[in-house]
Each structure stands twice: as structure tokens, then as C-alpha cells.
């Protein structure tokens, strides 16, 4: 699929970051939001980020101007008719996302790919709002987008292999590292790993077992994390964290599954204990 123009719906922190990396990769970008002030704020943030990059000597002023010149801001949803690939970055409310996908389905090219930057919500449900559900896929970036390398590419039940392949290739052209999430589950990969870690940290604090500072210190120095759980929750936003946790509660089995998994039990029974035995989940004997 020949992609020349990327549409980004939402000019907030994530949206303008995605627009920036798309333009830096050489694509024309249509950055759309519902009000001029949001669009202008997003473009201003991109300009500010690139200006600092120029100041540090990591980019020329001409390159900065070229990147900015490829980004066109608008409040007109109809402008998305010219996009070859679209990333939706609107509020994490399913009804709003489905309405957006329905509108896009009516005005875009037949072969356009419609992706969502959702961090946890069902792509399968979003795809039902379109007449081309095989063209719907998850493309979950991480904050701050220009600096974070990972992108989760998530399959809806309806997503075609061609759509996934195109999205993975585009991710790589953005200079990012894709991981494919083969099943549309709440939270995908990163949040499914991270949210239980957040919840447990909060419980330890609530029960008076340790201070927030010492829990953060333990995660950083004992697990080699760059940030502790409370620091990271503050960075990503407590409202977003609460929303994701509530979504998990509403959509995943209610019981706490702390029982060691069978696969782990069987590895230990077989004597495969990790590096110290030469083999565990991975083979260290080679």
C-alpha cells in the first residue's frame, strides 16, 4: 500500500506527537481537532520540540521548517478524505470512538486504514462502526511519542493480515519498534503488565507497608525500572490510570489470579530455573 498522507484525529499531547513523527518520516500530515485552539496548540508544541532539537545541534533549521511544512492543521473532518492512513487519538470513550470511525468510514477512501491509539479499549467493537472492519487496527504509541520507541499493533477480530503488515511497516518507517498483539484483549500487552504493578504498589502504600518514596525506590533499584510506579502514574496522569483500571475491572474476570501459572510450575519441576541452571524461559546454554 502506497502511503503518502497520514491523518491524525486529535491534536493533544499524543496526537501532536504522532503527527510529528509521521512528518519527520517524510509523510504529509493532516492534524485535525474540534477547535482551532486545540489545533494551534498541537502545532505549537511540535514547533517547540523541534526548536529545542535545532538548538541542541541535532537538526538543521531547514529540516525543521520542512517537517513543519508537511503538517496541515484543520477542524474540518472532511479533510480526512485525502488521508491514506488515519490514527484516531480522541478521548477514551467507546461511543465517541465508534462515532468517529463511522464518520471516517463515510468520507475516506475505500482502501484507507483506520487505526486507533487506544491504550486498552476493544478494536473489535470499534470496527463494527465501519463497512470495512478488515481495515481497522490498533496502533498504540507511548508518551512522549517522539522519544518512546515502542508501538503496539493490535488485531481486531476482523483485521486482515494485509492491514497488520502495512501498519507494522509504517511503524518501522516512523523509526519505532512494533510488537504485534494477536488477540484483542483489554490493555493489550504493556498495560496488562503495568496495571497490576500499579495496583499492588497502591495497596502496599494504603496498608502502611512502605512510603510512596520507598516503593518507588524499591522498583528502581531492585527491579532496575527507570521510574517507580507512583512516579510513572503521576507522569501518565492519575485520571488515565483510574480509567484503565476501571476498564480492566469491568471487562476482565473479577477474581485475583495470584496462583502461580502451570507453565511456571512445570519449568521448576523440570529443573529449568533460569540462568543459574542454564535454561528457564530462555536457553542460556548456547
- pLDDT (tens digit per residue) in 224-241: 999 999 999 998 888 888
Which residue spans of the chain are classified as CATH 1.10.1040.10?
190-255
| Half-sphere exposure of residue 140: CA atoms within 13 angstroms, side-chain side | 22
Selecting among 16, 115, 140, 241, the annotated active-site residue is 140
Band of pLDDT at residue 175, cut at 50, 70 and 90? very high
What is the CATH code for 5-181? Answer: 3.40.50.720
Band of pLDDT at residue 282, cut at 50, 70 and 90? confident
Model pTM? 0.89
CATH architecture of 190-255: Orthogonal Bundle (1.10)
List, for residues 141-165, the tens digit of each pLDDT value: 998 999 999 999 999 999 999 999 9
Please report the pLDDT score of residue 257 as a whole number. Answer: 58
Please report the pLDDT score of residue 237 as a whole number. Answer: 83
Selecting among 45, 119, 122, 241, the annotated active-site residue is 119
Please report the pLDDT score of residue 263 as a whole number. Answer: 75
In the residue annotation, 277 being an active-site residue is answered as no
| Torsion sign (Cα): 40, 46, 47, 52 | positive
Calculate mean pLDDT across residues 199-227.
94
In the residue annotation, 140 being an active-site residue is answered as yes
Which residue spans of the chain are classified as CATH 3.40.50.720?
5-181
8 A C-beta contact, residue 142 and residue 150? yes
Please report the pLDDT score of residue 265 as a whole number. Answer: 85
Amino acid at each position: 500500500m502506497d502511503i503518502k498522507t497520514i491523518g491524525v484525529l486529535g491534536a493533544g499531547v499524543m496526537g501532536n506527537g504522532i503527527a510529528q513523527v509521521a512528518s519527520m518520516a517524510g509523510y504529509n500530515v493532516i492534524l485535525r481537532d474540534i477547535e482551532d485552539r486545540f489545533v494551534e496548540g498541537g502545532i505549537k508544541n511540535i514547533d517547540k520540540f523541534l526548536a529545542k532539537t535545532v538548538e541542541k545541534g541535532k537538526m538543521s533549521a531547514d529540516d525543521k521548517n520542512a517537517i513543519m511544512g508537511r503538517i496541515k492543521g484543520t477542524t474540518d473532518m472532511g479533510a480526512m478524505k485525502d488521508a491514506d492512513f488515519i490514527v484516531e487519538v480522541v478521548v477514551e470513550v467507546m461511543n465517541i470512538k465508534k462515532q468517529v470511525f463511522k464518520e471516517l468510514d463515510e468520507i475516506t477512501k475505500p482502501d484507507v486504514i483506520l487505526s486507533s491509539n487506544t491504550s486498552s479499549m476493544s478494536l473489535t467493537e470499534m470496527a463494527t462502526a465501519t463497512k470495512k472492519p478488515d481495515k481497522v487496527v490498533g496502533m498504540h504509541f507511548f508518551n512522549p511519542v517522539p522519544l518512546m520507541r515502542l508501538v503496539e499493533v493490535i488485531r481486531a477480530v476482523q483485521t486482515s493480515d494485509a492491514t497488520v503488515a502495512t501498519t507494522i511497516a509504517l511503524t518501522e518507517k516512523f523509526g519505532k519498534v512494533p510488537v504485534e498483539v494477536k488477540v484483542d484483549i483489554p490493555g493489550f500487552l504493556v498495560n496488562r503488565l503495568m496495571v497490576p504493578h500499579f495496583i499492588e504498589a497502591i495497596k502496599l502504600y494504603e496498608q502502611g507497608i512502605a512510603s510512596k518514596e520507598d516503593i518507588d525506590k524499591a522498583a528502581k533499584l531492585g527491579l532496575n525500572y527507570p521510574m517507580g510506579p507512583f512516579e510513572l502514574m503521576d507522569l501518565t496522569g492519575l485520571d488515565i490510570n483510574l480509567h484503565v483500571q476501571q476498564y480492566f475491572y469491568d471487562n476482565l474476570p473479577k477474581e485475583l489470579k495470584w496462583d502461580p501459572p502451570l507453565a511456571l510450575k512445570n519449568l521448576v519441576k523440570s529443573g529449568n530455573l533460569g540462568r543459574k541452571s542454564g535454561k528457564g524461559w530462555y536457553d542460556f546454554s548456547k
